[in-house]
């Protein structure tokens, strides 16, 4: 019989579906004072990881604290989770190395993907005013590629109500 850890682990397919379904990840970087720096980020899922595994990308302001932290130490831990009651809890924690992409075109591409994902009613090309706003923001932002090194996942719904 599998142990409880194995019982609740998500498969690669379940993990990808979960990441696509959820909207916000918490990104923890290492602050210069040794304290973790946690911030919420919107993200997109790209199939560019090893073996086609899902890979998370985001963008943020170039001058943000998380970017300063990542320039010093490229490691970040990400958490995406949901659920109100124990039997509903699902989540993924990823230990990652972050590749910063300062090029404006690549940053713009990430920004367009983020806005396409989070713009209500999106069903094709972004509205011109949204696209113009993303273009303006891209000059102040940087793309972030989170390269997975380790994954921990849990889906308590797999326990069938037993604890």
**pLDDT value of residue 1:** 47
For residues 66 and 156, the answer to whether their CB atoms sit within 8 Å is: no
Tell me which of 2.30.110.10, 3.40.50.10860, 1.10.150.120, 1.20.1050.40 is the CATH number of domain 4-159: 2.30.110.10
CA distance 162 to 122: 40
Highest mean pLDDT among 45-49, 64-68, 105-109, 133-137: 64-68
Annotated domain spans of the chain: 4-159
Q: Over pLDDT 70: what percentage of the chain?
A: 93
The pairing of beta strand 44-46 with beta strand 36-42 = unpaired
Q: What does the pLDDT look like over 70-125, one tens digit per residue?
A: 999 999 999 999 999 999 999 999 999 999 999 999 999 999 999 889 887 776 67
């Amino acid at each position: 019989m599998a142990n409880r850890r194995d019982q609740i682990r998500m498969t690669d397919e379940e993990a990808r579906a979960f990441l696509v379904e959820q909207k916000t990840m918490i990104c923890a970087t290492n602050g210069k004072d040794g304290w973790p720096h946690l911030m919420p980020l919107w993200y997109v899922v790209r199939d560019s990881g090893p073996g086609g595994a899902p890979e998370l990308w985001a963008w943020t302001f170039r001058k943000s604290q998380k970017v300063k932290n990542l320039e010093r130490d490229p490691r970040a831990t990400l958490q995406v989770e949901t659920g109100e009651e124990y039997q509903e809890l699902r989540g993924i924690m990823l230990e990652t190395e972050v590749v910063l992409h300062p090029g404006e075109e690549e940053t713009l591409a990430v920004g367009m993907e983020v806005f396409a994902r989070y713009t209500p009613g999106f069903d094709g090309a972004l509205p011109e005013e949204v696209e113009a706003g993303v273009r303006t923001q891209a000059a102040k932002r940087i793309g972030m590629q989170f390269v997975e090194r380790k994954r921990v996942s849990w889906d308590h719904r797999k326990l069938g109500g037993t604890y």
